[in-house]
Copies of this chain bind each other. A is one copy, B any other.
């Protein structure tokens, strides 16, 4: 491909990526061109495009559901001055419910209640569904047929991740407690 062609290709890619309200997949981007572009060519153009934006306020990010331009975190302070309203901050109840679904999926409401020790407010599930971070994907075949929840690609994209395994690793259960050499002997003496 000639240099001019590659430059043109990048201009079109930049334009469609900057104006799309959703991340674009490689397939979607290929479909835009009259001729059939190889995936390799497309990737090369995207890589170059990413490099060209290296020192600017936006970055070309690769996400679970495609590519998109997004602002760099270091520019957030400027953006906040344009739009001083803060997005909602989710309560611990909402975030814990989300964490359980993310790490233990698929789970039912009962599973979440078992882990958190409290009833799960319907509003919490609704809030997460509304944000399109979780969705029901069927039922567990037990009495009551409770819905099974999983997280969505949207959640990953919103957290700037490509796959579930990029979630922060769980703390090892063992590391949550210091090993206690006396446990065996101490069953009752500690008590009475």
Interface residue ranges, A against B (CB under 8 Å)? 11-12, 14-16, 18-22, 24, 28, 31-33, 55-58, 69, 71-72, 75, 78-79, 81-94, 96, 116-118, 121, 123-124, 127, 172-173, 175-179
Q: Distance in Å from the Cβ of A112 to the closest Cβ of chain B?
A: 12
A/B interface sample: 14 pairs, CB < 8 A:
A11-B56, A15-B79, A16-B75, A16-B79, A18-B69, A18-B71, A19-B79, A22-B86, A84-B118, A88-B176, A89-B177, A91-B176, A91-B179, A94-B178
Contact (A14, B82) CB under 8 Å given A90-B178, A176-B90: no
Contact A84 B20 (CB under 8 A): yes
Task: Find the B residue at minimum CB distance from A25.
Answer: B85
A58 proximity list for chain B (CB < 8 A): 15, 18-19
A123 proximity list for chain B (CB < 8 A): 172-173, 175-176
Contact A92 B85 (CB under 8 A): yes
Contact A14 B57 (CB under 8 A): yes
Contact A85 B22 (CB under 8 A): yes
A11 proximity list for chain B (CB < 8 A): 55-57
B81, B87, B173: which contacts A92 (Cβ < 8 A)? B87
Contact B75 A31 (CB under 8 A): no
- Seed contacts A22-B84, A31-B82, A89-B177; 8 additional CB < 8 Å A-B pairs: A16-B79, A21-B89, A28-B83, A85-B118, A87-B92, A91-B176, A91-B177, A123-B172
